[in-house]
């Protein structure tokens, strides 16, 4: 049996790289914004007035992703700022996934600028994995006009860790036999899915590097961090059995996310935002006569640590309340109390068939909710989205139907 080979492909400074590629290749500009201090930044009147992507020259001035644009300009007085064009970025992301699909038997889009590729069993076609990774990296640069990092390993966790090594335009490996040398010396904060509160707890346990965590007593970790402690220990030892799953075709996944105006620090606000995301998803599902059976929730804390979980439903559904119920359970299992800057809900395994698990207790409620959802859709379609909203959103600062980076991105069903 062939050894498992997983690539993690990560676009370098994605938004800025895609903006630069568009300006040079489509608009015919001669100046490359990647070659001088520049950033992609959002609306400064809102939370989006932050650095979304930065050039390497800007980075040399100390500009960091996520900091306010005003702060970035103080560090770099000559900094040039460009407004984000999310429709363009969705298009460029699609071009990347399309190119990867020409070579990888299985491609899973992990975010708008990242993808996992399963190249297991392809050595006879492409040659040694590392050599092919360099060819693939250069192919992306030459055909699409932007650079990527590629991490290679035998599982998704290690491949993603590898792609985060030195940037840009690099290929790195992190196979199990390389963990001790390449990963264990890194600070524990570099490990995927380790948030600030977990870091504080680990430091109190004299755990400062990934190696410290890998060699810690699992029982002690579980005592202080519950199941998340065991999960982190497994990650520190490079253990991951998650499969690379095919990217769903158009209209097979429906997702929304939002970067909030101020950090979310309480459960009620978080669940209100999640409900608003589910409202939009449910409406889109019903408009497409589609039903989903998998719900996932993604959160990003104020330190930009991303975590996500998913659940398979007992029956396919297009009912907003059912999606929200599943999302609430996932959020509860994910959130450790750290302030949140992004929340996302995504659904998958969409089908035009509604396979219902009937039982004497829930069928009547499901039918009633289905009819109610359709009635609300009809009113909104005729009089606008604001015609009907839940009482929870009356005099609430959060929109009752929201999602992601804007309409262009929501229509693609991509969660950042």
Q: Scan for tokens 């606000």, then name that residue.
A: 269
Q: 223: domain CATH number?
A: 1.10.150.20
Domain count along the chain: 3
Q: Which tens digit of pLDDT belongs to each residue from 347-370?
A: 988 877 665 554 444 555 777 888
Kindly state whether residues 122 and 24 are assigned to the same domain: yes
377 domain-assigned: yes
Kindly state whether residues 312 and 378 are assigned to the same domain: yes
Q: How many angstroms separate the CA atoms of 188 and 222, rounded?
A: 17
Kindly state whether residues 272 and 298 are assigned to the same domain: yes
Contacts of 123 (CB under 8 A, 6+ apart): 2, 5, 129
Tell whether the model's pLDDT for residue 414 goes beyond 50: no
Kindly state whether residues 263 and 395 are assigned to the same domain: yes
What pLDDT, on the 0 to 100 scale, is given for residue 268?
Answer: 92
Kindly state whether residues 161 and 203 are assigned to the same domain: no
Kindly state whether residues 167 and 210 are assigned to the same domain: no
Average pLDDT over residues 255-271: 86
Query: How many CB atoms are located within 10 Å of the residue 35 CB?
Result: 11
Tell whether the model's pLDDT for residue 67 goes beyond 90: no
User: Which of 203, 236, 269 is the last residue before a domain boundary?
Assistant: 236
Q: Which tens digit of pLDDT belongs to each residue from 54-63?
A: 999 999 999 9
Taken in order 366, 344, 312, 107, is the CA torsion positive or negative? positive
Kindly state whether residues 149 and 35 are assigned to the same domain: yes
Report, as residue numbers or ranges, the catalytic residues: 114
249 domain-assigned: no
For residue 125, the enclosing domain spans: 1-181
Characterise 163 by phi-psi region: left (phi > 0), alpha (psi -120 to 50), beta (else): alpha
22 domain-assigned: yes
Mean pLDDT value across the chain: 86
Kindly state whether residues 201 and 170 are assigned to the same domain: no
What pLDDT, on the 0 to 100 scale, is given for residue 354?
Answer: 63
The DSSP bridge pattern shows strands 148-153 and 106-111 to be unpaired
271 domain-assigned: yes
């Amino acid at each position: 049996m062939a050894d498992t080979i997983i690539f993690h492909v990560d676009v370098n400074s994605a938004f800025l790289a895609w903006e630069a590629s568009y300006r040079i290749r489509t608009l015919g500009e001669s100046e490359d914004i990647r070659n001088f201090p520049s950033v992609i930044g959002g609306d400064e009147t809102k939370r989006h007035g932050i650095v979304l992507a930065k050039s390497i020259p800007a980075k040399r001035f100390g500009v960091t992703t996520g900091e306010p644009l005003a702060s970035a300009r103080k560090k770099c007085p000559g900094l040039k700022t460009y407004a984000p064009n999310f429709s363009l970025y969705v298009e460029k992301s699609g071009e990347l996934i399309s190119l990867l699909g020409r070579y990888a038997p299985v491609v899973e889009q992990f975010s708008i600028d990242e993808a996992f590729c399963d190249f297991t069993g392809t050595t006879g076609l492409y040659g040694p994995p590392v050599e092919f990774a360099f060819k693939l990296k250069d192919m992306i640069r030459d055909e699409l006009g932007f650079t990527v990092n590629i991490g290679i390993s035998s599982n998704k966790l290690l491949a993603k860790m590898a792609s985060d090594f030195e940037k840009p335009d690099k290929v790195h490996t992190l196979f199990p036999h390389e963990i001790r040398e390449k990963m264990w010396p890194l600070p524990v904060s570099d490990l995927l899915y380790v948030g600030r509160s977990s870091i504080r707890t680990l430091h109190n346990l004299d755990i400062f590097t990934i190696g410290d965590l890998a060699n810690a007593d699992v029982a002690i970790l579980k005592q202080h961090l519950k199941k998340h402690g065991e999960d982190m220990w497994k990650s520190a030892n490079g253990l991951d059995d998650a499969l690379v799953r095919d990217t769903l075709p158009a209209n097979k996944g429906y997702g929304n996310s939002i970067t909030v105006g101020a950090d979310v620090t309480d459960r009620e606000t978080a669940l209100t935002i999640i409900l608003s995301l589910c409202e939009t998803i449910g409406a889109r599902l019903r408009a497409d006569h589609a039903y989903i059976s998998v719900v996932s929730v993604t959160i990003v804390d104020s330190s930009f640590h991303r975590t996500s979980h998913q659940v398979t439903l007992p029956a396919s559904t297009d009912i907003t309340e059912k999606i929200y119920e599943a999302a609430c359970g996932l959020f509860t299992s994910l959130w450790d109390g750290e302030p949140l800057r992004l929340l996302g809900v995504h659904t998958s395994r969409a089908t035009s068939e509604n396979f219902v698990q009937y039982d004497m207790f829930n069928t009547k409620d499901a039918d009633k909710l289905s009819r109610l959802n359709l009635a609300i859709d009809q009113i909104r379609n005729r009089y606008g989205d604001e015609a009907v909203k839940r009482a929870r959103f009356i005099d609430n600062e959060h929109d009752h139907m929201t999602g992601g980076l804007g309409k262009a991105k929501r229509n693609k069903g991509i969660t950042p």
